[in-house]
């Protein structure tokens, strides 16, 4: 089954404690991205990757890091989480055939930073 898998689904952590949210896709998609979803703001892109070892900032990259060492995986790293990073996070992937393709989303990770 084609899917994007994120882990964990729920996470509560303390300010400053480094964490990683994993994302994996089994569709051989080139393009992957991370979004955060906040009430009234929709989805905002954090980082994206067009292929292995190619990553770039989205609209709200501050406080986040990513890496793309393998095509299927695109982890999101919070080196020193802060309460304003409490949010619902989604990983997405799509075929990179220009801009005509839709995104496939993971189930989401609800992060709370206290």
Partner 1 sequence: AQSVTQLDSQVPVFEEAPVELRCNYSSSVSVYLFWYVQYPNQGLQLLLKYLSGSTLVKGINGFEAEFNKSQTSFHLRKPSVHISDTAEYFCAVTSNTGGFKTIFGAGTRLFVKA
Chain contacts with partner 1 (rule: CB under 8 A): 4, 31, 35, 40-45, 48, 50, 58, 90, 92, 96, 99-100, 102-103, 105-108
CA gap 84, 99 in Å, rounded? 31
Question: Shortest Cβ distance from residue 40 to partner 1 (Å)?
Answer: 6
Question: For residues 16 and 95, which CB has a smaller minimum distance to partner 1 in the complex?
Answer: 95
Question: For residues 97 and 114, which CB has a smaller minimum distance to partner 1 in the complex?
Answer: 97
End-to-end CA distance of the chain: 36
Please answer whether residues 92 and 106 qualify as being in contact, where contact means their C-beta atoms are separated by less than 8 angstroms: yes
């Amino acid at each position: 089954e084609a899917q994007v898998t994120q882990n964990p689904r729920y996470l509560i952590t303390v300010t400053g404690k480094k964490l990683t949210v994993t994302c994996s896709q089994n569709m051989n998609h080139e393009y992957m991205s991370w979004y955060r979803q906040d009430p009234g703001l929709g989805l905002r892109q954090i980082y994206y990757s067009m292929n292995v070892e190619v990553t770039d900032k989205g609209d709200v990259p501050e406080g986040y890091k990513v890496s793309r060492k393998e095509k299927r995986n695109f982890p999101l790293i919070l080196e020193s989480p802060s309460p304003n990073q409490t949010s619902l996070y989604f990983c997405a992937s799509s075929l990179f055939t220009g801009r005509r393709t839709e995104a496939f989303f993971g189930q989401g990770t609800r992060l709370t930073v206290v």
